[in-house]
Amino acid sequence: MSRPSTGTRRDTVTPDPTEALERENEALRARLAALTEEVGRNDALLRKSQERELELLRAGSLAQLFERLLNGLKTSYQLDGVMLVLNDPQHEIRHLISGDDLAHGPQAGVMFVDALMTVAPQLAALERPWLGPYRRADHELLLPGADHPSSLALIPLRRHDELDGVLVFTSNDAYRFTRELASDFLAHLGLVAAICVENAVNRARLLRSGLTDFLTGFHNRRYLHARLREELARVQRARLPLVCLMIDVDHFKRINDQYGHLAGDAVLREVAQRIDAEMRISDTGARFGGDEFAMVLSQADIADGERVARRVLNAVRAQPIPVGSGANDPSETVTLSIGVAAANPGPGPHDYKALAERLIAEADAALYRAKSSGRNRVATSPNVVV
């Protein structure tokens, strides 16, 4: 007789593949949402960085550059402080800013030193941005004062294998700048800032040497003639065309007569800034005299010149220009007349001085046709200077 079984029977539960798949899909959706959010943050940071870098590149003077480096970056990146330390062993930059470029004196937050190692020994080997905690022994001379940050970023400003300065970002958050954070965008910002400092110093030198118009910060007529001769020789060797734009502010005498010469000066400065915003780095802009400006576009044909001229025209007339410093002062919509001419020097020897004068004359004749046709327009020369 067989003995009855005393074991307990266990029912096997088979996992539902649908539920497992749904859980996996939910995890993937959460991961995708996190990645999308991260991409959005990175894209916003990239756009902000690019906008800020363009602001720096468009700075017309040391004063404007210092303002955009210190206050602009502080606001844009929500920092507790920004400091700029510049290597100035010959005191040249200090002499430049003591003149007209910074009428109100050096900007607070800018430090000039004869040797960078005197304020922080670690700067001697600074090749890439350094991020980490504030240490009194290392950073006290770099950040003098009673208030010390919790973390900081030291961003080198290097040009031609030389350390020209350091941009210092500070934060009261100990975790804002740590060694684990990526610093590629800070390195790129340091390179752009170094280029901008170099350009602003060179511009200040030009102001002192008589090749720059003091009112607008543009090059002057003397510089334009010299640069135009150089560009004509260069494009002849490359067998490429070159374009000259002559630009005149319409009815400028009325602005001077109605509002005064100080208002007229303010209008000319704003017009110069709007023209500058439409220029490539390789282009040359100048105040030719009075209310007349000129541009030289290297490696460009007449169609390129006409496109740039229309961009300049639209940029200037798009927004009215204030003619006073008060909030309730009137504004004027300013228009331009622009003449465009091209040169394409053939092979063989050339008198580049005479060639430059003929090119300017052709652009000036086109400008006259634009004014005669009613102003607020672009006219092109049918002739190519060869």
198 and 238 inside one domain: no
Q: Are strands 130-133 and 151-159 parallel, antiparallel or unpaired?
A: antiparallel
Among 166, 186, 208, give the residue marking a domain's end.
Answer: 208
Give the three-class secondary structure for 382: strand
State the residue for tokens 């800020």. Answer: 52
243 and 357 inside one domain: yes
Q: Count how many domains the chain has.
A: 2
Asked whether residue 3 is domain-assigned, the answer is no
State the residue for tokens 């402080």. Answer: 81
255 and 143 inside one domain: no
Q: What CATH number is associated with residue 107? A: 3.30.450.40
Among left, alpha and beta (phi > 0; psi -120 to 50; other), residue 101 is alpha
Asked whether residue 216 is domain-assigned, the answer is no
257 and 332 inside one domain: yes
Global pTM reads 0.55
378 and 268 inside one domain: yes
Phi, psi angle pair for 219, to nearest 5°: -65, 160
249 and 378 inside one domain: yes
d(CA 221, CA 289): 7
d(CA 137, CA 115): 18
Q: What CATH number is associated with residue 226? A: 3.30.70.270
170 and 270 inside one domain: no
177 and 202 inside one domain: yes
Among 208, 230, 261, give the residue marking a domain's end.
Answer: 208
Among 156, 180, 208, give the residue marking a domain's end.
Answer: 208
Asked whether residue 237 is domain-assigned, the answer is yes
Q: 186 with 170: CB under 8 angstroms?
A: no
Asked whether residue 39 is domain-assigned, the answer is no
Asked whether residue 186 is domain-assigned, the answer is yes
Q: Is the dihedral of CA 299, 305, 311, 315 positive or negative?
A: positive
* Tens digit of each residue's pLDDT, the chain (386 residues): 455 555 555 555 566 778 777 777 787 777 777 777 666 656 666 677 788 888 888 887 888 899 999 999 999 889 999 999 999 988 888 877 765 444 444 467 999 998 888 888 888 889 999 999 999 888 988 888 768 899 999 999 998 888 999 999 999 999 999 988 878 889 999 999 999 999 999 888 877 778 888 888 888 999 999 999 999 998 888 889 999 999 999 999 999 999 998 899 999 999 999 999 999 888 999 999 999 999 999 889 999 999 999 999 999 999 999 987 666 778 999 999 999 999 998 888 889 999 999 999 999 999 999 999 999 999 999 988 88
Asked whether residue 38 is domain-assigned, the answer is no
Q: Could you list the residue range(s) of the whole structural domain that residue 370 is in?
A: 221-385
Nearest to 229 by CA among 382, 366, 358, 380: 358
Q: 279 with 371: CB under 8 angstroms?
A: no
Asked whether residue 25 is domain-assigned, the answer is no
243 and 169 inside one domain: no
105 and 68 inside one domain: yes
| Structure tokens that stand for 356 in this block | 């430059």
Asked whether residue 36 is domain-assigned, the answer is no
156 and 272 inside one domain: no
197 and 225 inside one domain: no
